[in-house]
Chain A
């Protein structure tokens, strides 16, 4: 472990999220809503960053894996839960079952990641992007046509299990695992694959394996994020996991700076806050009403301006250090 502080940070974060989860009922629900979404988006962005940033692949299907997780977890709590748990199961039993659902969601998504990744990661360059794009579409079509998963209407009445504790401790775990993995001896392989695949292969490295590991780990956390998101909005449908959602996550990674975990975390938080900030701004006075109406336009304009001014990403402080490390 090259970063002895990492584990301490992880524990601090888990304790802090416990505190937040406890205080949740005393906070403004709108604020809790935004915080929870930040937590979920951080998980998505950091896990995608492992694939797109650190390992240098290009996945456009992250929302698809999220969907696999969301449906798995919802099926576990909605259908399997009532059958397996005793009637009137208490808070702790419910929470334990939710943990099982989260892990199940992660594992199913990881399995999907393996199935998609194993054949396609032998490809180089842009081909993976196309394969993952196709995967995202297939997932949506499959869910839409499975009757007992609700078809196009999706699943409703999912129990509200996600709170700030789950969202933030899962985010902390994602950050911890991804950083620990990348900074380990094994993780250097990701960077080598990213920097120069041919050179890495000529050194005897099995780059395909590194890519698959990055892909499977990334998908695992996407699945967990999906499970959290389903038990947070309480309703899921295939449309919520389409191509647009994938793009949103890719944008977070690019804005934060590919391969910069801290930058990606901040970008995920900022891009979740931005639309809400614009919403607030438009509510302040009638003369600012146009801000609310042109939210999608302003969001797009900000992205264009950002890419023109800082193509390397907004938050790339440690660039030099990382290069010499």
Chain B
């Protein structure tokens, strides 16, 4: 199968998935017992005239399937209606905060790659030595430590005791300012620790598997320097398995950001989601949940295509 056909075939699978998650996020509001209008009016008594107007504004006078089609078509063009709490357009509320979360996520991903790959390689190369044991202990700790505890401890040490960072993010300067980027390191490291623990062990086991293969013995037998064997042969092949978990990493970073943004009062979409769940601001909640679902599905798609590109065997 050519790569194009694989991409097409894999892409077709995502279509029903995307439809499914849109149905789920839409259905959320209708799963609540009672009339959805109560969440817009916050249970205040209304005269019939105003109630009709509100129903018309939110499309609640239509049958459910029409409401769904309306919601999906306007969502596809980036229109999620207005927030119930702030009355601002949902899209602009999200777009305001999305860059923060994206920058933090990319940084966290960077932290993970930069730390996990070298340590995983070293742990595999010195397998069953003290170094390997240390990496195993780190992985166990990194998975078990709650990310909010880690974040709070980082704040305590670096912001309160050492005074290297402010306690609250310098949000007013914008995401691309130097101060904000430096501050973003803290949440990025917090999220990165957990995903490093996962990726490092994966890197180690795939590297161990590759090191045992015949071509490694051949490469060594023909007198290649050890550095070349590891870097040019083994590392390249074992990196393929890193790609397969890239999608899991994306999901891990998204869920991490939801919690960690609360710790650092970080102005991203995770904190927006949590705040609005408290207020039951459903247009915003639905938009963010849908956005996250789409992001994870796309990440899976990209990871599969990358994998098929790197390892042609799996196309069949």
**Pair from one complex:** no
Chain B residues proximal to chain A, CB less than 8 Å: none
Chain A residues proximal to chain B, CB less than 8 Å: none
